[in-house]
């Protein structure tokens, strides 16, 4: 399904090339007044983290926990695999040549790696857990039926940012151009969690769980000024200091993870302002 969507979008690029190719103007797609929008697919890799869990009958930490972006544990090399696709959306507007303000949405999934050894530290009230009681400080084998924060519907990262696009090369009739880009973004994290504790799962608990910040670099291949393919690498930090784990708010979690996320995007440009009228201006 995911591959078919990308193939369909590529097909549209091929079909509309003759129409777009008749456009005689040579407007700069990174000039003031240009607008762009894109949709993409991403994968993510996370640093190990300490996860704090707090409820009415327990207060504990899961130290050095490994987190992955798909339940199956498929690696980054299998880019389009996994049952939980991660999408990226971005809208940008160039407020001056080469500099754009962006609004973004990135969905990052997280699952605890199953059957990993972690450090379990904290206290359990009698009867709170079938395997642990009182004060605990030991290495244990973590399984997802005992502890798991599954953000299968995503850490939804809404962001505002700044991006710079530098046009490195453009053909004489603007059939093709090549850009490099970099930027930063930050914003809130809206999450939906399936939380498992001692064999019981509380499904689909939503919360505004924290803040994220990221930087990105990439390259863009533009066709006939309107359509483009973009390859991007993002990296940053996701600070979730208030993950709601129960509907009544009695159980909460915390985690801070660093991440890197390669992605591929298809997008289009619109010349939204007459200020972008310098087709022959030099590109510095």
Residue 205: predicted pLDDT? 93
- What are the φ/ψ torsions at residue 232 (nearest 5 degrees)? -140, 150
Half-sphere exposure of 148 (CA within 13 A, CB side): 27
Q: Considering the domain boundaries, does residue 19 fall inside one? A: no
Q: How many independent structural domains does the chain possess?
A: 1
Q: Considering the domain boundaries, does residue 10 fall inside one? A: no
Domain range spanning residue 226?
33-271
Burial of 18 (0-12, 13-18, 19+ CB in 10 A): exposed
CA distance 140 to 63: 10
Q: Considering the domain boundaries, does residue 101 fall inside one? A: yes
SS3 content of the chain, % helix, strand, coil (to 5): 5, 65, 30
CA distance 167 to 26: 13
Q: Considering the domain boundaries, does residue 40 fall inside one? A: yes
Q: Considering the domain boundaries, does residue 55 fall inside one? A: yes
Q: Considering the domain boundaries, does residue 11 fall inside one? A: no
Q: How does pLDDT run along the chain (284 residues), one tens digit per residue?
A: 544 544 454 444 444 444 444 444 567 899 999 999 999 999 999 999 999 999 999 999 999 999 999 888 887 777 777 677 899 999 999 999 999 999 999 999 999 999 999 999 999 999 999 999 999 999 999 999 999 999 988 899 999 999 999 999 988 888 899 999 999 999 999 999 999 999 999 999 999 999 999 999 999 999 998 999 999 999 999 999 999 999 888 999 999 999 999 999 999 999 876 554 454 443 33
Q: Considering the domain boundaries, does residue 282 fall inside one? A: no
**Strand ranges inside 21-98, DSSP E:** 34-42, 45-46, 49-55, 58-65, 67-68, 86-96
CATH code of residue 141: 2.40.160.20
Q: Considering the domain boundaries, does residue 87 fall inside one? A: yes
Residue 191: predicted pLDDT? 94
């Amino acid at each position: 399904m995911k591959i078919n969507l990308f193939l369909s979008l590529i097909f549209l690029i091929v079909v509309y090339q003759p129409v777009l190719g008749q456009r005689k103007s040579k407007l700069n797609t990174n000039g003031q007044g240009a607008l762009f929008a894109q949709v993409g697919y991403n994968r993510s890799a996370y640093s190990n983290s300490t996860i704090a869990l707090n409820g009415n009958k327990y207060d504990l930490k899961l130290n050095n926990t490994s987190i992955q972006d798909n339940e199956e544990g498929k690696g980054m090399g299998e880019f389009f695999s996994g049952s939980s696709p991660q999408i990226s959306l971005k809208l940008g507007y160039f407020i001056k040549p080469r500099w754009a303000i962006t609004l973004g949405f990135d969905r990052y999934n997280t699952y605890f790696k199953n059957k990993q050894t972690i450090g379990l530290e904290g206290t359990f009230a009698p009867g709170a857990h079938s395997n642990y009681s009182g004060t605990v400080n030991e290495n244990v084998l973590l399984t997802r039926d005992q502890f798991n924060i599954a953000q299968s519907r995503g850490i939804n990262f809404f962001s505002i940012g700044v991006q710079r696009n530098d046009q490195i090369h453009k053909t004489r009739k603007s059939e093709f151009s090549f850009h490099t880009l970099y930027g930063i973004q930050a914003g809130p994290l809206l999450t939906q969690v399936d939380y498992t504790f001692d064999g019981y799962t509380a499904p689909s608990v939503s919360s505004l769980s924290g803040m994220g910040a990221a930087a990105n670099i990439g390259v863009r291949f533009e066709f006939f000024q309107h359509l483009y393919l973009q390859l991007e690498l993002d990296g940053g930090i996701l600070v979730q200091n208030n993950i709601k784990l129960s509907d009544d708010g009695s159980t909460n979690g915390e985690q801070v993870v660093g991440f890197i996320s390669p992605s591929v995007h298809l997008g289009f440009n619109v010349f939204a302002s007459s200020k972008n009228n310098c087709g022959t201006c030099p590109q510095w």
